[in-house]
Amino acid sequence: MEAALTVKRRATAGFSLIELLIGVAIIGVMAAMAIPMTSTAMKSYRLTAAIGAATGAIQSSRYQAIMNGYPYQLTLTPSTLSYTVLCEPPGSATYVNLVPPVSNVPIARLGDVTINQTVTFTFLANGTISGSPGMTFTLSNGIVTEQIQVSGVGNVSVTP
């Protein structure tokens, strides 16, 4: 009787090799499906973050111009995926760095997102944009392209 119990215990103690292989195969198939979906989701999140950084910089520069009462200039640079903010305080004939400087602030990692062109916004003290109103540029992650439009009064809209 004791020998029969040991055989029973040994038979129910673990998984067979076939069961383990089937389990590993199922996990492999699920991982193969999940990796591309995760990659696409990460690209989407990075594009959303870059749009948030760019629109935030635009709105912040406009608010600074209104609050301080003198022009601010924001430049988005595609080669570095960054922005620079300059101001023209009273008595200054040109745009100068802020204190502390806001220069080459990244909006995304290189390779994650692209900007289609260099864009410069000049916000006057009343919050309007100097020059051509309705400036538009695009951000893309290689899958999705989003268009960002800034109206003459500084309203920012994002459209796919």
Extract the tokens encoding 129.
């944009």
Extract the tokens encoding 16.
């067979």
Task: Note the pLDDT of residue 35.
Answer: 83
H helices present in the chain, as ranges: 2-11, 17-68
CA atoms of 145 and 148, how far apart (whole Å) = 10
Could you report the per-residue pLDDT of 73-116, keeping only the tens digit for each? 999 999 999 999 999 999 888 999 888 888 889 999 888 899 99
Extract the tokens encoding 39.
């990659």
Task: Note the pLDDT of residue 135.
Answer: 85
CA atoms of 115 and 110, how far apart (whole Å) = 11
132 pairs with which residues across the strands?
A: none
Q: State mean pLDDT over 131-147.
A: 85
Task: Note the pLDDT of residue 15.
Answer: 81
Could you tell me the pTM of the whole model? Answer: 0.77
Q: State mean pLDDT over 51-77.
A: 93
DSSP letter string, 11-38: HTSS--HHHHHHHHHHHHHHHHHHHHHH
Q: Please determine, for residue 51, whether its predicted confidence score (pLDDT) is greater than 80.
A: yes
Q: Please determine, for residue 141, whether its predicted confidence score (pLDDT) is greater than 80.
A: yes
pLDDT interval class at 6 (50, 70, 90): low
Q: State mean pLDDT over 126-135.
A: 79
Could you report the per-residue pLDDT of 16-40, keeping only the tens digit for each? 889 899 999 999 998 888 888 888 8
The domains found in the chain, sorted by start residue, are: 2-159 (3.55.40.10)
CB 118 within 8 A of CB 78: yes
* Nearest in space to 96 (alpha carbons), one of 87, 84, 107: 87
Extract the tokens encoding 112.
């994650």
- 37 versus 11: the higher-pLDDT residue is 37
The three-class DSSP label of residue 93 is coil
Q: Please determine, for residue 9, whether its predicted confidence score (pLDDT) is greater than 60.
A: no
